């Protein structure tokens, strides 16, 4: 359409859009209908009949096609859908152009009035009959006032009917299943594993042999590998039976041409001269390969592996789950083969210690031609090495037992390292004692006394369970009496009472119950005599007297068990510290060490928070404080983080660091609390090998019996006598 013609169409007034500030131009209905006509295309289903001469199978053909009519310029296009193996040109039969009507109206062209369902039109000698149309075409013609005809079926093509009849006699599937891609994709790397047994004792120099059978689900193949024991005299072959399909019996060698994908019957004539062949759809001449499949492999089944009888004894968990899901099997009881016990167990004798290095080092060198270091318990090292505030070091307060008068008053701190069961002994320096103090025994494993020096058996070493209050240990001919331990050692032994039986409160109660049968009145009288004020408690010394009265000297508990019993029933009031008091102590420690680098702390915390949430984990904040050398004790820092932690366990680092700034957020010191206060005076977190002694075992040492103080005897009586037989 020319441009100047469009300008002649009338438009409505311009409307201003209040949101965009642009004018909206509305086209009149005349122009809108013209645009719809330009963009429309009418589609009809049609066919035409074509005559075929001198052919027995057909005399005519019915050819289906699509007729497209374009109303904008009255052009017509005819397209025939392409069919396979037709031998005739298909596709666009008539290109798009205007087509004249047949004579005597050849001066006129086909228009939209000539197209309707049921009409015919002739083009280039072919008569096309319109049988149906699409919904758009039907709607378009109805708007033009045309009454649509009824849709008609397209007649069958005789040649296509004959062609389908010939194809129906051909097999619709291959003779054998060739494509196994689906099985490969579903079961690739899925292998069934069976533990089997082959009894070869009947043959000359034969013996029972253990095998492992692998069944590959991807292609139904089997592989067998042999489990070769040590010193069996057999070569370590990589595979007993290579991966293949395992036949049930011994197969015969097939003749050439027997194994084929398809079998041809009644072949006659030359292929290039119209020869004929028929596929064997009944599979009469098929070669059947009888092989083992997954349904034949069950626990207790016997397999014939080329004349060898294999017994399936057990399978792995994946195989059990496979048979449980696919076949519904539930019984996977292993089968134990009848193996005659002909093997003599080899008893290895270790060579005696030669004096070079430690016993473990010497033994490791004797087992290998190349000197190697002895293997350490790596898992024990990873689980019981220092982790944050957990030091995994038990400290005991001990006294030297000797006849030398000068050494009788010497006291030591025994450090027990749980990561490798090593010990170190440290002597705290004491003024005017005549001894300098310091490290008394380097860290290392300590042998028990009376061990053979150059023996064959490995020596016995002291373990952490050998140290308890009241025990006597001999370290390198020095005899020590364990007097006490720090709070961390007591807590660790009580939490791991399975390793430390003298700290097991359940065993202590069970040991005392036989002595208190029918003696509840005696216990009640003892409690009233020792508690005249009726506070429900008495001292730890009274507890010792009570235990000795009940059990006697020969059955008395040792010192460690008495302390464990007293700690369990101790009357300890809860002690709490206010947040302001703790913050004042922290600022006092920072001011004493002149620490003012709070800006660097804040920058490091922001780098550790890439998402800018303002919160970081506790361990990350503790690591940042330690790396920046914040002079605050670990237990005090941990307690302060408890006050500042959120519900999710994270800490908002900006308020936490700002409250530490003693210049901007000053908190007055509390005179009633000592300046060296820490939240847990009894626990020594850091390991000690050299330098000052721990605070809990230092000059201000207080025995554990005094720390226990008062004991709640009523709870003790309830544990021993029972709540129903409570002494009242």
pLDDT tens for 492-524 read 999 999 999 999 999 998 888 888 877 777 887
State residue 516's pLDDT score.
81
CA-closest candidate to residue 500, choices 424, 420, 570, 558: 558
Backbone φ and ψ for 443, nearest 5 degrees, come out as: -65, 130
DSSP 8-state class, residue 343 = P
CB atoms within 10 A of CB 67: 22
Burial (Cβ within 10 Å: 0-12, 13-18, ≥19) of residue 345: exposed
The better pLDDT of the pair 558, 169 is held by 558
Range from 63-72, 133-142, 380-389, 682-691 carrying the lowest mean pLDDT: 682-691
CB atoms within 10 A of CB 564: 25
Reported as a single tens digit per residue, the pLDDT across 52-88 is 888 877 889 999 999 999 999 999 999 999 988 788 8
The better pLDDT of the pair 485, 15 is held by 485
**Are the C-beta atoms of 359 and 441 separated by less than 8 Å?**
no
DSSP-based three-state secondary structure for 326: helix
Do 181-326 and 579-678 agree at the fold level?
no
Q: 618-627 vs 634-644: helix axis angle to the nearest 10? A: 140
Count of all residues that appear for the chain in the document: 728
State residue 323's pLDDT score.
95
The better pLDDT of the pair 418, 263 is held by 418
DSSP-based three-state secondary structure for 46: strand
CA-closest candidate to residue 210, choices 223, 197, 222: 197
CATH class of 181-326: mainly beta
The C-alpha atoms of residue 665 and residue 656 are separated, in whole angstroms, by 11
In this predicted structure, the answer to whether residue 315 has a pLDDT above a threshold of 50 is: yes
Radius of gyration of the chain (CA): 49
State residue 65's pLDDT score.
95
CA-closest candidate to residue 340, choices 197, 137, 161, 507: 197
Task: Grade residue 673 by pLDDT with cuts at 50, 70 and 90.
Answer: very low
CB atoms within 10 A of CB 165: 9
Task: Grade residue 250 by pLDDT with cuts at 50, 70 and 90.
Answer: confident
Express as a percent the part of the chain with pLDDT over 70.
82
In this predicted structure, the answer to whether residue 113 has a pLDDT above a threshold of 80 is: yes
State residue 164's pLDDT score.
86
Token pair recorded at residue 650: 């994270």
Task: Grade residue 119 by pLDDT with cuts at 50, 70 and 90.
Answer: very high
In this predicted structure, the answer to whether residue 693 has a pLDDT above a threshold of 60 is: no
State residue 453's pLDDT score.
75
Express as a percent the part of the chain with pLDDT over 90.
36
DSSP-based three-state secondary structure for 28: coil
The long-range contacts involving 458-462, CB below 8 angstroms and separated by at least 24 positions, are 458/350, 458/359, 458/360, 458/363, 459/359, 461/421, 462/421, 462/423
Range from 5-9, 115-119, 127-131, 377-381 carrying the lowest mean pLDDT: 5-9
539, β-bridge pairs: 710
In this predicted structure, the answer to whether residue 177 has a pLDDT above a threshold of 80 is: no
In this predicted structure, the answer to whether residue 138 has a pLDDT above a threshold of 90 is: yes
The C-alpha atoms of residue 530 and residue 543 are separated, in whole angstroms, by 10
State residue 402's pLDDT score.
92
668-696: burial string, b at 16+ Cβ within 10 Å, e else: eebeeeeeebbbbebbbbeebeeeebbbb
Q: What is the largest CA-CA distance in the chain?
A: 149
State residue 270's pLDDT score.
65
Token pair recorded at residue 34: 């013209």
State residue 647's pLDDT score.
80
State residue 36's pLDDT score.
58
Query: Taking all residues of the chain, what is their mean pLDDT, rounded to a whole number?
Result: 82
DSSP-based three-state secondary structure for 507: helix
The C-alpha atoms of residue 27 and residue 6 are separated, in whole angstroms, by 11
Token pair recorded at residue 488: 């961390």
Q: How far apart are the first and last CA of the chain?
A: 115
Reported as a single tens digit per residue, the pLDDT across 376-435 is 888 888 888 887 667 899 999 999 999 998 888 899 999 999 999 999 999 988 887 888
In this predicted structure, the answer to whether residue 178 has a pLDDT above a threshold of 50 is: yes
Whole-Å CA distances, 491 to 255, 392, 501, 684, 705: 83, 11, 14, 12, 15
CATH class of 579-678: mainly alpha
Q: Where are the alpha helices (DSSP H) in 531-578?
A: 540-551, 559-568
Reported as a single tens digit per residue, the pLDDT across 696-708 is 555 567 888 888 8
State residue 684's pLDDT score.
44
Chain centroid to Cα 113, Å, comes to: 74
Element housing 423 (H / E) = strand 422-427
Reported as a single tens digit per residue, the pLDDT across 330-366 is 999 999 887 766 666 777 788 888 777 788 888 888 8
CATH class of 40-164: mainly beta
Q: Where are the beta strands (DSSP E) in 326-417?
A: 393-401, 411-417
The C-alpha atoms of residue 379 and residue 695 are separated, in whole angstroms, by 31
**Are the C-beta atoms of 116 and 149 separated by less than 8 Å?**
yes
Reported as a single tens digit per residue, the pLDDT across 635-668 is 788 888 888 888 888 888 888 888 888 878 777 6
Reported as a single tens digit per residue, the pLDDT across 525-557 is 788 788 788 788 888 888 888 888 888 776 778
State residue 5's pLDDT score.
36
The better pLDDT of the pair 277, 251 is held by 251
Query: What single string gives the DSSP state of each residue in 167-185?
Result: HHTS-SS-SS----HHHHH
722: left (phi over 0), alpha (psi -120 to 50) or beta: left
Task: Grade residue 21 by pLDDT with cuts at 50, 70 and 90.
Answer: very low
The long-range contacts involving 546-551, CB below 8 angstroms and separated by at least 24 positions, are 547/512, 550/512, 550/515, 550/516, 550/519, 551/512, 551/515
State residue 279's pLDDT score.
67
State residue 261's pLDDT score.
67
CA-closest candidate to residue 27, choices 3, 9, 1: 9
The better pLDDT of the pair 427, 452 is held by 427
Task: Grade residue 234 by pLDDT with cuts at 50, 70 and 90.
Answer: confident
State residue 93's pLDDT score.
93
Calculate ∠ Cα 296-299-305, nearest 5°: 55
In this predicted structure, the answer to whether residue 688 has a pLDDT above a threshold of 60 is: no
Reported as a single tens digit per residue, the pLDDT across 211-225 is 999 999 999 999 999
State residue 529's pLDDT score.
83
Question: Could you tell me which CATH number the domain at 373-485 has?
Answer: 2.30.29.170
The better pLDDT of the pair 549, 689 is held by 549
Burial (Cβ within 10 Å: 0-12, 13-18, ≥19) of residue 209: buried
The C-alpha atoms of residue 190 and residue 183 are separated, in whole angstroms, by 11
Token pair recorded at residue 192: 């069934």
In this predicted structure, the answer to whether residue 599 has a pLDDT above a threshold of 80 is: yes
Q: What ranges do the domains of the chain cover? A: 3-32, 40-164, 181-326, 373-485, 502-571+712-721, 579-678
State residue 683's pLDDT score.
41
CB atoms within 10 A of CB 333: 8
The C-alpha atoms of residue 481 and residue 472 are separated, in whole angstroms, by 5
Task: Grade residue 165 by pLDDT with cuts at 50, 70 and 90.
Answer: confident
Is pTM beyond 0.85? Reply is: no
The C-alpha atoms of residue 550 and residue 490 are separated, in whole angstroms, by 25
The better pLDDT of the pair 440, 179 is held by 440
The C-alpha atoms of residue 118 and residue 150 are separated, in whole angstroms, by 7
Range from 82-86, 143-147, 286-290, 479-483 carrying the lowest mean pLDDT: 286-290
């Amino acid at each position: 359409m020319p441009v100047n013609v469009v300008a002649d169409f009338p438009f409505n007034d311009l409307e201003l859009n209040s949101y965009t500030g642009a004018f909206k131009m509305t086209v009149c209905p005349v122009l809108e209908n013209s645009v719809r006509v330009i963009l429309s295309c009418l589609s009809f289903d049609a066919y035409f009949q074509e005559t075929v001469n001198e052919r027995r199978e057909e005399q005519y053909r019915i050819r289906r096609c699509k007729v497209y009519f374009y109303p904008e310029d009255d052009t017509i296009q005819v397209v025939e859908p392409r069919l396979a193996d037709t031998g005739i040109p298909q596709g666009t039969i008539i290109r798009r152009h205007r087509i004249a009507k047949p004579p005597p109206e050849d001066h006129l062209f086909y228009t939209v009035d000539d197209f309707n369902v049921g009409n015919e039109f002739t083009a280039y000698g072919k008569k096309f009959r319109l049988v149906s149309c699409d919904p758009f075409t039907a709607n378009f013609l109805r708007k033009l006032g045309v009454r649509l005809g009824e849709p008609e079926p397209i007649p069958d093509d005789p040649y296509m009917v004959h062609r389908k009849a010939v194809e129906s006699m051909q097999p619709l599937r291959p003779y054998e299943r060739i494509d196994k891609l689906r099985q490969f994709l579903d079961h690739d790397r899925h292998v069934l594993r069976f533990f089997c047994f082959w009894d070869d004792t009947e043959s000359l120099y034969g013996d029972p042999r253990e095998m492992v059978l692998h069944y590959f689900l991807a292609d139904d193949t089997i592989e067998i590998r042999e489990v070769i024991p040590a010193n069996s005299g057999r070569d370590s072959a990589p595979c007993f039976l290579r991966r293949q399909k395992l036949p049930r019996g011994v197969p015969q060698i097939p003749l050439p041409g027997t194994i084929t994908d398809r079998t041809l019957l009644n072949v006659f004539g030359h292929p290039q001269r119209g020869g004929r062949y028929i596929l064997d759809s009944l599979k009469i001449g098929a070669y059947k390969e009888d092989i083992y499949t997954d349904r034949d492999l069950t626990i207790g089944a016997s397999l014939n592996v080329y004349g060898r009888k294999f017994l399936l004894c057990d399978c792995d968990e994946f195989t059990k789950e496979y048979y449980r899901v696919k076949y519904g099997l539930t019984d996977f009881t292993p089968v134990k083969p009848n193996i005659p016990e002909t093997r003599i167990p080899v008893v290895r004798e270790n060579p005696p210690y030669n004096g070079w290095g430690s016993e473990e080092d010497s033994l490791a060198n004797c087992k290998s031609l190349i000197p190697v270091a002895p293997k350490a318990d790596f898992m024990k090292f990873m689980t019981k090495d220092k982790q944050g505030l957990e030091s995994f070091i038990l400290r005991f307060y001990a006294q030297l037992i000797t006849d030398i008068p000068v050494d009788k008053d010497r006291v030591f701190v025994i450090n027990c390292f749980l990561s490798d069961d090593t010990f170190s002994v440290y002597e705290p320096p004491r003024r005017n004692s005549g001894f300098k103090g310091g490290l008394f025994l380097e860290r290392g494993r300590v042998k028990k006394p009376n061990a053979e020096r150059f023996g064959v058996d490995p020596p016995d070493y002291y373990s952490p369970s050998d140290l308890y209050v009241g025990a006597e240990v001999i370290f390198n001919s020095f005899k020590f009496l364990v007097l006490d331990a720090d709070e961390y050692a007591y807590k660790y032994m009580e939490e791991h009472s399975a390793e430390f039986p003298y700290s097991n409160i359940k065993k202590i109660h069970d040991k005392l119950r036989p002595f208190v049968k029918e003696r509840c009145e005696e216990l009640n009288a003892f409690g009233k005599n020792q508690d005249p004020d009726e506070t429900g408690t008495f001292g730890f010394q009274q507890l010792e007297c009570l235990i000795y009265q009940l059990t006697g000297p020969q059955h008395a508990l040792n010192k460690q068990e008495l302390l464990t019993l007293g700690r369990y029933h101790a009357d300890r009031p809860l002690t709490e510290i206010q947040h302001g008091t703790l913050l004042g102590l922290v600022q006092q420690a920072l001011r004493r060490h002149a620490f003012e680098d709070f800006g660097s702390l804040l920058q490091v915390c922001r780098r550790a928070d890439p998402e800018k949430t303002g919160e970081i984990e506790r361990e990350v904040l503790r690591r940042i404080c330690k790396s920046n050398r914040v002079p605050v004790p670990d237990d005090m820092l941990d307690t302060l983080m408890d006050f500042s932690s959120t519900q999710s366990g994270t800490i908002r680092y900006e308020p936490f660091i700002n409250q530490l700034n003693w210049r901007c957020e000053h908190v007055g010191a509390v005179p009633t609390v000592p300046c060296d206060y820490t939240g847990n005076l009894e626990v020594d977190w850091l390991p000690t090998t050299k330098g000052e002694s721990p605070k809990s075992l230092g000059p201000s040492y207080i025995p554990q019996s005094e720390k226990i103080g008062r004991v709640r005897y009523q709870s003790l009586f309830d544990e021993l006598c029972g709540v129903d037989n409570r002494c009242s």
